[in-house]
Amino acid sequence: MSDIDWEPLVEAALKVRELAYAPYSSYRVGAALLADDGRTFIGCNVENAAFPVCLCAEQAAIGAAVASGSRSFVALVVATAGARPAPPCGMCRQALSELAADLPVLLVTPDGVREHWTLSKLLPGAFKAGTLTDGQG
Catalytic residues: 58
Element (H, E) at 64: helix 57-67
Backbone angles phi, psi at 64, to 5 degrees: -65, -40
Kindly give the interhelix angle for 90-99 and 57-67, rounded to the nearest 10 degrees: 30
**Alpha carbon distance 32, 35 (integer Å):** 10
Backbone angles phi, psi at 68, to 5 degrees: -95, 5
